[in-house]
Chains A and B, each alone.
Chain A
Amino acid sequence: MNVGIEALNVYCGLAQIPVPALFEGRGLDAERLGNLMMRNRSVGLPFEDPVTNAVNAARPIADDDRIEILITSTESGLDYSKSVASYAHEYLGLPKSCRVVEVKQACYAATAAVQLAAAYVASGVSPGAKALVIATDVALVDERAAYAEPAMGAGAAAVLISDRPRILDLDLGAFGNHSYETMDSARPEPTFDIADSDRSLFAYLDCLTNCLAGYQAKVDNADFATTFDYLAMHTPFAGMVKAAHRKLMRESGGGTASVEEDFERRMLPSLAYPSRVGNLCSGSVYLALASLIDHAALDGAARVGLYSYGSGCSSEFFSGLVDEESARTLAAMRIGDQLDGRCELGFDEYAALLPATLTCLVPERDREVDVGAYEHLLGRARFDRDLLVNTGTKDYHRTYEWLAR
């Protein structure tokens, strides 16, 4: 049985700021722009939260009565008990027979959910069953985050797992994992992240090497330089992925092509969307996969090596096949158009939004969010379908409405 990703979509918000404008506004050293390899970062608006991002990503692929499991993966939880999935289940109109659950392990959790869901589908306990995994997050960064601020994105990636893998046919059983406790980054309170960038970078690289070794222990003759036609990795910022690629090429002996040429051929297609959005957190590796499928000239089946890393930490290297059908299927989501349609913010507009966006996870018994107050920004954004927006809370119950296109 073939199992994998049947459908994939991302939602990366209605607004973005060019990274050079953010550098200038914050007085950051422009020489470091090259290392980030970032053009824009998506910016959440005050009526967007983990629920709206999840629903807005998943809605085009969620009209399917065979969905038996809904899993949200987030490091932007809204409640100690009630899941983001419970709201997403309602606003996506999913069957009441559906299992609903939320998972957490920083940026890695969605991949754990994808693998568990794929194994469920492959097990045959419920023939034809599908699982919807939604990785959804918001950014909680301002000037305190220094160079991490321009790298953080916001939004969600939705992945439908089934036995009709039109997007990615998973290599079942081909994976390597690596996990251990470390405090490289965390979200100890609902208004800010802490991050130790050096520790996180080392852990990311260390886990990648160990995950690949685990993969190679399961797959005879697997080699980083030659087994994978393309690569898509969790992308905190594109420059970090480039360093990871360089490290693994060194460790694998490099193959025949130069490291730079190999990077441009096998990795660069996966970085086009991440460099326009920023770190999508839990959904990052799936944004990279979408970027790869939309930007690589797929001609016949191609094997993709995927790497997912989540601080704290847990990680996985796995693989699957993509082909022309993947490209045709994903093209219907028009992800590039969605990104083009975001409203471009100036630095002052961006800074004015932050106080409201930085508190969107803070529990409040009653709150009203006036969506109409942001008409001036909505009027500059282009979107071609109705979108869910957060209108506040009432007795801690979050309230939502559909915003007509």
Chain B
Amino acid sequence: MTDAQIFETVKQNVLKVLPDLRPGDVTTEGTLTDLGANSVDRADVVTMSMEDLGLTVPVSEFQEVHDIRSLVDLLARHA
């Protein structure tokens, strides 16, 4: 699984959770908070992405996630 595939999965889930966004709004440089995601939305994006990718990442590791790139990196390490 490539980083690009993981990013695409995260992006599709961001768009599902925040349907008002345009696809171009979601980039690896941005944060979920900047895109308007609250804590519940962020949890939804993460859990939906883990399910789509068939991954289980320990909850404690999400503490290091501060933007979409670090989320993709974390998921990639467990892929």
Interface residues of A (CB under 8 A from B): 32, 35, 182, 196-199, 201-203, 205-206, 239-240, 242-243, 246-247, 250-251
Given A247-B47, A250-B51, A251-B51, answer yes or no on A201-B60 (Cβ-Cβ < 8 Å). no
CB neighbours (8 Å) of A203 from chain B are: 59
Chain A to chain B contacts (Cβ below 8 Å), 20 pairs: A32-B38, A35-B38, A182-B59, A196-B63, A197-B39, A198-B63, A199-B59, A199-B62, A201-B39, A201-B43, A202-B43, A202-B62, A203-B59, A205-B43, A205-B47, A242-B40, A243-B43, A246-B44, A247-B43, A250-B51
Please measure, in the bound complex, the distance between the C-alpha atom of A238 and the C-alpha atom of B56, giving whole angstroms: 27
Cβ-closest chain A residue relative to B48: A250
B46, CB-defined interface residue at 8 Å: yes
The 3 closest A-B pairs by CB, nearest first: A243-B40, A202-B59, A206-B59
The answer to whether B40 touches A199, judged by C-beta atoms less than 8 angstroms apart, is no
Cβ-closest chain B residue relative to A32: B38
Given A35-B38, A250-B51, answer yes or no on A199-B60 (Cβ-Cβ < 8 Å). yes
CB neighbours (8 Å) of B60 from chain A are: 182, 199
The answer to whether B51 touches A202, judged by C-beta atoms less than 8 angstroms apart, is no
CB neighbours (8 Å) of B63 from chain A are: 196, 198-199
- Interface positions, chain B 7-55, Cβ under 8 Å from A, are 38-40, 42-44, 46-48, 51
Interface of B is mostly: helix
Please measure, in the bound complex, the distance between the C-alpha atom of A203 and the C-alpha atom of B58, giving whole angstroms: 10
Q: Chain B, interface size: which category?
A: 10 to 19
Cβ-closest chain A residue relative to B38: A35
Most buried by A among B42, B51, B60: B60
The answer to whether A247 touches B59, judged by C-beta atoms less than 8 angstroms apart, is no
CB neighbours (8 Å) of A243 from chain B are: 40, 43-44
The answer to whether B48 touches A201, judged by C-beta atoms less than 8 angstroms apart, is no
The answer to whether A198 touches B47, judged by C-beta atoms less than 8 angstroms apart, is no
Please measure, in the bound complex, the distance between the C-alpha atom of A242 and the C-alpha atom of B40, giving whole angstroms: 9
Given A182-B60, A205-B47, A251-B51, answer yes or no on A198-B38 (Cβ-Cβ < 8 Å). no
Please measure, in the bound complex, the distance between the C-alpha atom of A182 and the C-alpha atom of B58, giving whole angstroms: 11
Chain B nearest Cβ from A291, distance in angstroms: 20
Please measure, in the bound complex, the distance between the C-alpha atom of A18 and the C-alpha atom of B24, giving whole angstroms: 39
Chain A nearest Cβ from B18, distance in angstroms: 12
CB neighbours (8 Å) of B59 from chain A are: 182, 199, 202-203, 206
